[in-house]
A and B are shown apart, each in its own frame.
Chain A
Amino acid sequence: MIELVKTENIPFFSHLSEFEKGVAGKGPAWLQRMRNSARLQFAKLGFPTLQDEEWRFTNVAPITSIPFKLEAYELDGLKREIIDGLRFADLQCERLVFVNGCYSPELSFVEESRDGIRISSLSRVLQQDAAAVEPYLGRYANWEQDAFNALNTALMQDGAFVYIPKGKILEKPIHLLFLAATRGTAIASYPRTLIVADSNSQASVVESYVGLGEEVNFTCPVTEIILNDGAVIDHSKLECESARAFHVATLQYHQERSSSLGSHSIALGGALVRNSLNAVLAGDGAECTLDGLYLVRGEQHVDNHTRLEHAAPHCSSRELYKGVLDGKSRGVFHGRIVVHRGAQKTDSKQTNKNLLLSDDALINTKPQLEIYANDVKCTHGATIGQLDKDALFYLRSRGIGEEAARSLLIYAFASEVVRRMKVGAVQRRLDEFLLGWLPGGEFVKEAVQV
């Protein structure tokens, strides 16, 4: 605490003591120790500045200038209909809902636990069976290096825990919905999610962050996903918070032998969004696809940092991040691929493509390869472009209006990532969002109707 007190003149810190009171002395000893170290680590690291290599293009100072509050949510006015009317209404599945970081049993729907499958709030697991998460929680996400990750680790109270036992195949996806319900208060929340897929199990998880209310808020989630031997996980993260939201997220994947991961990271809302995604291919023959899409306009700022580590031989990875930037928006894509010594026969391909719709939009893209093995196949490429004028003229010369033609081309660009999503309901929802986002969306909808 001492270290934090010294910096009390930073408005951001006002809510931290409240948080700390909430977690002080709670939970098992190992967790208290971890929180403590993380807190000290955060104090040591401090907020990143533009001088930090990993934060050169993303200024977090606006976050530190706001005196956020913790607000326990009240259910009134936040009825189930709101949830139903929200994203993926047609996704019939188990759903954990969190409001301002706290689990809401009333809004959630979880089936009786069966065959060892566990889908529950993290707070409950920590109270009742902390041993179930002890081997994993905080062991993969690297909070020693990252201030926001450390902050979450020090302050986490709630979030989701999903455990899929050996050989279990979940037919339906699991939806984790994190709502920021501001109602006039600047809310901060630190949701923590842990997903463990044991050997040869299979599941889809959709993690979505949605804003209710127009007040500024700060969401600082950390998600750890561990795939044991042969596990297959499809994970979508959708960030769709309000226009004034700050969203700084860490996503950590860890893959053992022959496991397979499909990751889809979509950033749509928010004033400032940062996704730090780390994936470690730790076991032989593991494979992953990392897809990303960001659609921003106005003064939005979105920063995707991905770090993919090939730490074992015979692994393959495919990364495709696409961005559409309009208005005065800013985008950052930094994709680092590290091939460790001994990770022979690595097959890795990274692509980042950006479409700038206005002269004032800006993207900073930087793919990086670090290769310490000699028998590998790695390619990467980044493009920044405007709408293809020839294509635009071609469409218009056939009678399609300018706005419609532009929208059609943007749609074609972005929908490549949307089509690769596996959960139908999410794909449809995203498609709707994309159509709604485009000025000529109505036309495109007509045009692409089968």
Chain B
Amino acid sequence: MLEIRNLKVKAGGKEILRGINLKVNVGEVHSIMGPNGSGKSTLAQVLAGRETYEVTEGEVWYDGKNLLEMAPEDRAREGIFMAFQYPVEIPGVSNLYFLRSALNAIRKHRGLDEFDAMDFLTLAKEKMGLLRVDENLMSRPVNEGFSGGEKKRNEIFQMAILEPRLAILDETDSGLDIDALRIVAEGVNSLRGKERAIIVVTHYQRLLNYIIPDYVHVLSEGRIVRSGGKHLALELEDKGYSWLEEAEPKRVQVV
């Protein structure tokens, strides 16, 4: 479903991703872990189409399409969803209005009927119930005045409505208490299935107790330095990232 080949990315003149290779098949859940500043969000943002990053080399194929040539909205319409590490506040734009527009843009693209206000509200209420998000919050402007946890839950709520084929969750677990974490994990797990794939970016094993990954990758200084099964996450939790550096000779940076 997704294939990243030797992806190199620069931002502000600085090389951040230095040749990422990753293959994600339909039905799989991949977890990406790694220390602060290793490039996890950069990867997520590049996959979603953020233009501030400059791709200098490599390619990304999504369902046989050249992803890097697609506008962000087209990626979303083709089923990519990224839950932001830092969701943006948008004053004056109601969360529900915005979400209905997004859903309809996606449905239109797929040749499906658009949702009218009533149908949408029914759907939204159902998902709000499942994810236990506050209805009042959802009719407020997008993320405005939301707490950190509320913002993260809103991302998952949006995901539940938009039902992406490829979901990329960028540290959706940070800022969530254990109850919220469980609810979010349930939301994610309910999307798991034969026709979808999920990439979970996280620092902690905690979330992976609930969303059990098929593969774990460790990103360090813009490269995937280790890949393995779900046990790799446990090992990392135990020994920390420095363990990896010891295990693997540190690459010398060529200036």
Q: Which residues of A contact B (CB under 8 A)?
A: 388-391, 393-402, 404-405, 408-409, 411-413, 415-416, 443, 446-450
A398's partner among B50, B89, B102 (CB-CB below 8 A) is B102
Within 8 Å of chain A (Cβ to Cβ): is B18? no
Contacts of A399 in B (CB 8 A): 73, 76-77, 102-103, 105-106, 109, 162
A396 in contact with B72 given A390-B88, A449-B117, A450-B117 (CB within 8 Å): yes
Stretch of B91-99, B183-191, B213-221 contacting A (4+ beta carbons < 8 Å): B91-99
A399–chain B nearest beta-carbon distance, Å: 4
Contacts of A397 in B (CB 8 A): 48-49, 72-73, 75-76, 81-82
Find out whether the CB atom of B72 lies under 8 angstroms from the CB atom of A393: yes
Find out whether the CB atom of B90 lies under 8 angstroms from the CB atom of A398: no
Find out whether the CB atom of B92 lies under 8 angstroms from the CB atom of A413: yes
Q: How far is the CA of A448 from the CA of B92 in the complex (A)?
A: 10
Find out whether the CB atom of A391 lies under 8 angstroms from the CB atom of B88: yes
Find out whether the CB atom of A409 lies under 8 angstroms from the CB atom of B90: yes
Q: How far is the CA of A409 from the CA of B101 in the complex (A)?
A: 13
Find out whether the CB atom of A446 lies under 8 angstroms from the CB atom of B101: yes
Seed contacts A393-B51, A399-B77, A416-B92; 17 additional CB < 8 Å A-B pairs: A388-B88, A389-B52, A391-B89, A391-B90, A393-B50, A396-B76, A397-B72, A399-B73, A399-B76, A399-B103, A399-B109, A400-B98, A404-B101, A404-B105, A405-B73, A409-B92, A447-B100
Q: Which residues 47-87 of B sit at the A interface, judged by CB distance below 8 A?
A: 48-52, 71-73, 75-77, 81-82, 84, 87
Q: Which partner residue on chain A sits nearest B109 by CB separation?
A: A399
A396 in contact with B49 given A402-B71, A447-B101 (CB within 8 Å): yes
Contacts of A415 in B (CB 8 A): 92
Listed residue (B51, B72, B81, B104) with the most chain A CB atoms within 10 angstroms of its CB: B72
Within 8 Å of chain A (Cβ to Cβ): is B172? no
Within 8 Å of chain A (Cβ to Cβ): is B158? yes
Q: How far is the CA of A248 from the CA of B75 in the complex (A)?
A: 49
Q: How far is the CA of A394 from the CA of B73 in the complex (A)?
A: 10
Listed residue (A394, A409, A449) with the most chain B CB atoms within 10 angstroms of its CB: A394
Q: Which partner residue on chain A sits nearest B49 by CB separation?
A: A397
Q: How far is the CA of A396 from the CA of B48 in the complex (A)?
A: 9
* Number of B interface residues in the complex (CB < 8 A): 38
B99–chain A nearest beta-carbon distance, Å: 7
Find out whether the CB atom of A448 lies under 8 angstroms from the CB atom of B77: no
A contacts with B: majority SS: helix
Find out whether the CB atom of A412 lies under 8 angstroms from the CB atom of B93: yes
A420–chain B nearest beta-carbon distance, Å: 13
Contacts of B90 in A (CB 8 A): 388, 391, 394-395, 409, 412
Q: How far is the CA of A166 from the CA of B5 in the complex (A)?
A: 80
Q: How far is the CA of A73 from the CA of B103 in the complex (A)?
A: 53
Find out whether the CB atom of A443 lies under 8 angstroms from the CB atom of B73: no
Q: Which partner residue on chain A sits nearest B48 by CB separation?
A: A397
Q: How far is the CA of A77 from the CA of B99 in the complex (A)?
A: 48
Q: Which residues of B contact A (CB under 8 A)?
A: 48-52, 71-73, 75-77, 81-82, 84, 87-94, 97-106, 109, 117, 141-142, 158, 162
Find out whether the CB atom of B101 lies under 8 angstroms from the CB atom of A412: no
B50–chain A nearest beta-carbon distance, Å: 6
Q: Which partner residue on chain A sits nearest B83 by CB separation?
A: A397
Contacts of A400 in B (CB 8 A): 73, 98, 101-102, 105
Contacts of A447 in B (CB 8 A): 97-98, 100-101
B145–chain A nearest beta-carbon distance, Å: 15
Q: How far is the CA of A400 from the CA of B99 in the complex (A)?
A: 9
Q: How far is the CA of A443 from the CA of B141 in the complex (A)?
A: 18
Listed residue (B51, B92, B117) with the most chain A CB atoms within 10 angstroms of its CB: B92
Find out whether the CB atom of A398 lies under 8 angstroms from the CB atom of B162: yes
B84's partner among A394, A401, A404, A409 (CB-CB below 8 A) is A394
Q: How far is the CA of A411 from the CA of B141 in the complex (A)?
A: 13
Q: Which partner residue on chain A sits nearest B82 by CB separation?
A: A397
Listed residue (B51, B81, B101, B109) with the most chain A CB atoms within 10 angstroms of its CB: B101
Q: How far is the CA of A408 from the CA of B142 in the complex (A)?
A: 12
Find out whether the CB atom of B93 lies under 8 angstroms from the CB atom of A409: yes
Nearest 3 CB-CB pairings of A with B: A412-B92, A399-B76, A398-B102
A383–chain B nearest beta-carbon distance, Å: 13
Q: How far is the CA of A357 from the CA of B49 in the complex (A)?
A: 22
Q: How far is the CA of A341 from the CA of B82 in the complex (A)?
A: 58
Q: How far is the CA of A135 from the CA of B15 in the complex (A)?
A: 75
Q: How far is the CA of A416 from the CA of B144 in the complex (A)?
A: 15
B120–chain A nearest beta-carbon distance, Å: 11
Contacts of B101 in A (CB 8 A): 400, 404, 408, 443, 446-447
A213–chain B nearest beta-carbon distance, Å: 36
Q: How far is the CA of A405 from the CA of B51 in the complex (A)?
A: 15
Listed residue (A397, A399, A411) with the most chain B CB atoms within 10 angstroms of its CB: A399
Q: How far is the CA of A393 from the CA of B50 in the complex (A)?
A: 7
B73's partner among A401, A408, A449 (CB-CB below 8 A) is A401
Find out whether the CB atom of B158 lies under 8 angstroms from the CB atom of A398: yes
Between A and B, 18 residue pairs with Cβ closer than 8 Å are A391-B90, A393-B49, A393-B50, A396-B71, A396-B72, A396-B73, A396-B76, A397-B73, A397-B75, A397-B76, A398-B162, A399-B76, A399-B162, A400-B73, A402-B73, A412-B90, A412-B93, A413-B92
